[in-house]
Amino acid sequence: MIFDGQSILITGGTGSLGKVLVRRLLSGEMGDPKKVIVLSRDEAKQHDMRIAYLHKKVTTDEIIYNNFLNKLEFRIGDVRDYADVCSAVSKVDYVINAAALKQVPTCEYFPEQAVLTNCIGAMNIVRAIREHNYCVNTVVGISTDKAAKPVNVMGMSKAIQERIFTSANILNSDTRFICVRYGNVMASRGSVIPLFIEQVASGGPVNLTLPDMTRFLLTLNQAVDTVFAAINTAESGEILVPNAPSATVLNIAKAIIGDRDIEIKINGIRPGEKIHEIMVSEEEINHTIKRDNYYAICSMLPELNDGSRPNALKKEFSSADNVLTLEDTIALLKNNHLMPGLEKYSEGGELLA
């Protein structure tokens, strides 16, 4: 199995995606890894995560001081810092770059911060591998549908991150650089569903931007599935995109409200937001192929794509296509244990399970 005896670095590993990645890597479903390393800036989140995994086996002191002897290892550091990245990357086989500034309004007000994390962080990973000849098998960049035809800083910075990673294959031919791109991850920190659940639990109102706004919907496990599928199947320079369903924010709100007497309030679009998201743009369909239940966007660079494979799409892949009905939206949330079920969520909006 692909991760047997391998060391995997997850940058931003204390985030919603990182936590599920760690859990599933340690489950052995993709093989028994030698080491799973979490690199992030927040010592409190690392401590909570460390305790959650290890407190049943050893005392607190052993958890802290035996950190580097454990299969799950925590490192304080920042992808923005080249030295931190070099230290973390030097002896690993796989890098999953989940470190990001991902909140659209935050990135609009502080674009330079988005560039430092989302772009310079990616550049540091590439530079470290190239300049030190580290023997890294694969680097996976975690991207977003907002990187397709970007209109906000978050999407723009992620689009540049994609190009930094995919173009890195030219001068770093011993390492495979690939990306995954997906939409709204249900129940992830800062996403709309935990926000709506919190507003419902508080008695309302539930605040919407625009009723007809649509978003692609994936669970955290489906996001991890996409990362694993990319590691198993993607070729150098490809961006793997799941064929995900979409729903209107109005139907998401109605599904969570159910039969409760709670007001829905329309506040208008936020800075930098799109009404509909795009997973594969009109320009990208010319080098997109189908692979199982995914689309693979091949690199536009001729060194990485000879253009011989047939296009899989006739038009851009938009969240406005094939929108779920209210009934189907309710079924999707129920099937993924996301309603309502309010007791399943912590104050921060993360799944307790």
Residue numbers annotated as active site: 146
Cα(156)–Cα(227) distance, integer angstroms: 21
Cα(339)–Cα(118) distance, integer angstroms: 32
Residues near 198 by beta carbon (within 8 Å), at least 6 away in sequence:
345, 349
Mark out the alpha helices in 172-264 (DSSP H runs): 192-201, 220-233, 249-257
CA distance readout (Å), 186 to 26, 68, 350: 22, 33, 10
Cα(204)–Cα(346) distance, integer angstroms: 18
Query: Tokens representing 294?
Result: 């995914």
Cβ proximity of 71 and 82 under 8 Å: no
In our burial notation (b when 16+ CB lie closer than 10 A, e otherwise), range 172-204 reads beebbbbbbbbbbbbbbeebbbbebbebbeeeb
Cα(200)–Cα(59) distance, integer angstroms: 40
* Region for 203 from its dihedrals, namely left if φ exceeds 0, alpha if ψ lies in -120 to 50, beta otherwise: left
